[in-house]
């Protein structure tokens, strides 16, 4: 590993660490946290009221008008709880409100192997202007009409003949549900004609994962702009809120591996509010809130259709649901995201079709990626071999110009490289070309739901850290546990560094900086100890395969032949083409009164 190769490796390390800390959002401002914490107590009270909603169907009389929906002719159902279910999901509804209050996913469990509740104490309802005498559909006792396991209707009629109809449809073998709502108000006042349909959604997310803090740090509200098509999110690190400055196409309450999304056929208007706040208990992740007007008037008799997604953040499943829902999975920005979308995910999904253990899938994925990178790594090794062959001549130049201007020595070295046909940056560029895949994996493994609760060797869940020892104390940055995969990754990286040091060409200055080469694996150990076991396992496998490649390179590359070729290159006429780097060196030399020798 020459100086340029080390610089490339250090750049990779710096960018990896920077991507962890620099690109993550800042914690919410204190005043926002304070405000949302105050609001959370109100949300808790509202959720308790919703939980007991089946006990009563009486809505209060408001100052703005009489509650026409509290008519004595309203029919009461034998049961206030109704269910829609298919092979994947089970959704609970209350007759009061006619909306889902809880959802369970059948194909997933919590880390304690219990039923996975996507949300509970859910409040989803249409809000009405005060003059209608009622806050919204959450105060109406609907008459339910079950059609089958996949369809359910709720109807309500006021004493003045006004009606509201809510029809829910759950697609078979899917996480998608749709709501078709119809409003028919007898009062044809200008206020109704000018009022938009308003929707309020408050959803509480119970904890599901082993690492509760990490789960909270990955829970936030995502949204898609209707005008630009861009997907953005609230700050996941803490509590945050946003008064929507533009129309949104959809809003999603995303947890670490699961999401609840609303996708109305008409845009959500600007001026609404979305926020995250503390959960109603210590076991909850967060409480999400959205309050929006929909681009349809209350006086419009056209049925309003709204689609919902209640399910896992699985890339292919979200993509199939449409409207770019898959963009709420953080796969990395720019080229790193492209590598995941067009290389890592397709190869991973293809390997997954064979029904292998995910530890074996990661092994084959690593082999395939290392085969793709093989030409670049071979070129890097070949460049190092050329530098080793030139080392005696480089040492002579260093000794010759020991007391001269350093620029003169650099100029002489560049002339030697040009004469021998060697690119001094040849070992650096191949390493930098590997950076996109390196960082793509850094985003892929912690967000791959396929690895959730999948065991391999001593790791019981490849989507979170593996622990062979729980410490009685917590070490800053490192944590309170020992990850064996992180240790193996670190040890293999140090061995690889030692092996490269024995093969690389280093000057005195680089020898003095050797400690930095061993510091980087230790830094990685501190950072990656709490990351997904699958990620550390991948890096460990990559190091092991690299050892094998280095051994193969020593058999394939004959340094005697390289030396002979370099000597032959010296006998050829010097190329008139000069690199931009060398041109700059020559310009700097001329400014200092040194004219390079002409050939």
What CATH number does residue 217 fall under?
A: 2.70.98.90
Residue 159: pLDDT band by 50, 70, 90 thresholds? confident
Report DSSP state, residue 136.
B
Decide if pLDDT at 56 tops 50. Answer: no
What mean pLDDT is predicted for residues 455-477? 90
User: Considering the domain boundaries, does residue 576 fall inside one?
Assistant: yes
30: its two tokens: 């204190």
User: Considering the domain boundaries, does residue 597 fall inside one?
Assistant: no
| Cβ–Cβ < 8 Å for 491, 524 | no
One domain for residues 323 and 374: no
Name 500's Cβ contacts closer than 8 Å, sequence gap at least 6.
Answer: 1, 5
pLDDT of amino acid 74: 39
User: Considering the domain boundaries, does residue 372 fall inside one?
Assistant: yes
Decide if pLDDT at 432 tops 50. Answer: yes
One domain for residues 543 and 429: yes
One domain for residues 77 and 139: yes
One domain for residues 326 and 378: no
Per-residue pLDDT tens for 254-313?
A: 999 999 999 998 888 888 889 988 877 778 889 999 999 998 888 888 899 999 999 999
Q: Kind and range of the H or E element at 259? A: strand 258-264
Select from 276, 307, 332 the last residue of a domain: 332
Q: 151-157 and 163-170 as β-strands: parallel, antiparallel, unpaired?
A: antiparallel
| Cβ–Cβ < 8 Å for 235, 251 | no
User: Considering the domain boundaries, does residue 527 fall inside one?
Assistant: yes
Number of domains in the chain: 2
Least Cα distance to 486 among 534, 449, 548, 446 occurs for 534
User: Considering the domain boundaries, does residue 339 fall inside one?
Assistant: no
Residue 451: pLDDT band by 50, 70, 90 thresholds? very high
One domain for residues 186 and 251: yes
One domain for residues 301 and 355: no
Rg (the chain; Cα; Å): 32
pLDDT of amino acid 574: 55
User: Considering the domain boundaries, does residue 593 fall inside one?
Assistant: no
Per-residue pLDDT tens for 112-144?
A: 999 999 998 889 999 887 666 678 888 888 888
One domain for residues 237 and 155: yes
What mean pLDDT value characterizes the chain? 78
User: Considering the domain boundaries, does residue 97 fall inside one?
Assistant: yes
Least Cα distance to 462 among 356, 374, 311, 337 occurs for 356
Select from 332, 365, 380 the last residue of a domain: 332
pLDDT of amino acid 335: 87
Q: What is the DSSP string of 478-492?
A: TEEEE-HHHHHHHHH
One domain for residues 390 and 530: yes
Confidence (pTM): 0.77
Per-residue pLDDT tens for 230-258?
A: 999 998 887 888 888 889 999 999 999 99
Name the residue with tokens 């869940």. Answer: 461
Domain containing residue 470: 3-21+345-583
Least Cα distance to 259 among 210, 326, 320, 198 occurs for 326
Sign of CA dihedral 526, 527, 529, 530: positive
Write b or e for each residue in 175-190: b if 16 or more Cβ atoms lie within 10 A of its Cβ, otherwise e: bbbebebebebeeeee
Report DSSP state, residue 30.
H
One domain for residues 315 and 383: no
One domain for residues 210 and 268: yes
One domain for residues 378 and 299: no
Select from 332, 359, 384 the last residue of a domain: 332
One domain for residues 258 and 124: yes
User: Considering the domain boundaries, does residue 530 fall inside one?
Assistant: yes
């Amino acid at each position: 590993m020459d100086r340029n190769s080390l610089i490339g490796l250090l750049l990779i390390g710096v960018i990896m660490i920077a991507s962890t800390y620099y690109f993550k959002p800042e914690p919410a401002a204190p005043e926002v946290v304070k405000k949302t914490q105050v609001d959370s107590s109100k949300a808790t009270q509202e959720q308790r009221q919703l939980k007991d909603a089946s006990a009563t169907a009486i809505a209060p009389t408001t100052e703005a008008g009489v509650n026409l929906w509290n008519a004595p002719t309203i029919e009461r159902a034998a049961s206030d709880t109704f269910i829609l279910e298919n092979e994947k999901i089970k959704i609970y509804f209350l007759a009061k409100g006619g909306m889902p209050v809880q959802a369970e996913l059948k194909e997933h469990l919590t880390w304690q192997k219990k039923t996975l509740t996507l949300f509970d104490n859910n409040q989803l309802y249409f809000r009405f202007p005060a003059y209608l005498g009622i806050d919204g559909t959450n105060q109406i006792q609907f008459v339910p009409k079950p059609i089958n396991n996949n369809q359910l209707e709720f109807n309500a009629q006021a004493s003045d003949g006004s009606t509201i109809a809510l029809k829910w449809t759950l697609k078979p073998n899917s996480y998608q549900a749709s709501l078709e709502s119809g409003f028919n108000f007898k009062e044809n006042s200008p206020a109704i004609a000018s009022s938009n349909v308003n929707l309020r959604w408050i959803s509480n997310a119970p904890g599901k994962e082993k690492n509760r803090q990490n789960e909270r740090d990955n829970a936030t509200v995502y949204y898609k702009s209707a005008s630009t098509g861009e997907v953005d999110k609230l700050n996941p690190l803490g509590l945050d809120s946003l008064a929507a400055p533009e129309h949104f196409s959809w809003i999603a309450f995303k947890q670490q591996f699961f999401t609840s999304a609303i996708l109305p056929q008409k845009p959500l208007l600007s001026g609404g509010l979305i926020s995250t706040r503390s959960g109603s208990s210590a076991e909850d992740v967060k409480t999400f809130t959205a309050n929006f007007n929909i681009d349809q008037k209350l006086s419009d008799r056209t049925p309003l259709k709204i689609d919902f997604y209640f399910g896992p953040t699985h890339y292919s499943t979200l993509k199939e649901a449409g409207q770019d829902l898959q963009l709420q999975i953080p796969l990395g920005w720019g080229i790193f995201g492209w590598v995941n979308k067009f290389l890592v995910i397709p190869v991973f999904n293809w390997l997954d079709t064979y029904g292998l253990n995910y530890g074996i899938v990661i092994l084959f994925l690593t082999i395939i990626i290392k085969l793709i990178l093989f030409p670049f790594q071979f070129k890097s090794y070949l460049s190092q071999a050329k530098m080793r062959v030139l080392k005696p001549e480089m040492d002579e130049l260093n000794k010759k110009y020991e007391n001269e201007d350093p620029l003169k020595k650099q100029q002489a070295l560049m002339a030697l490289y040009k004469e021998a046909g060697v690119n001094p940056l040849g070992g650096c560029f191949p390493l930098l070309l590997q950076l996109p895949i390196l960082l793509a994996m850094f985003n892929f493994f912690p967000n791959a739901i396929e690895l959730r609760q999948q065991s391999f060797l001593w790791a019981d869940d490849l989507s979170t850290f593996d622990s062979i020892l729980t410490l009685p104390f917590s070490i800053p940055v490192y944590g309170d546990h020992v990850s064996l995969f992180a240790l193996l990754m670190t040890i293999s990286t140090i061995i690889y560094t030692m092996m490269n040091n024995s093969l690389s060409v280093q000057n005195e200055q680089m020898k003095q900086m050797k400690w930095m080469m061993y510091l980087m694996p230790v830094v990685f150990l501190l950072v990656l100890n709490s990351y997904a076991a699958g990620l550390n396992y991948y890096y460990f496998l990559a190091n092991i395969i690299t050892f094998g490649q280095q051994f193969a390179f020593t058999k394939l590359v004959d340094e005697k032949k390289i030396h002979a070729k370099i000597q032959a290159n010296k006998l050829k006429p010097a190329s008139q083409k000069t690199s931009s780097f060398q041109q700059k060196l020559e310009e700097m030399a001329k400014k200092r009164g040194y004219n390079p020798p002409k050939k």
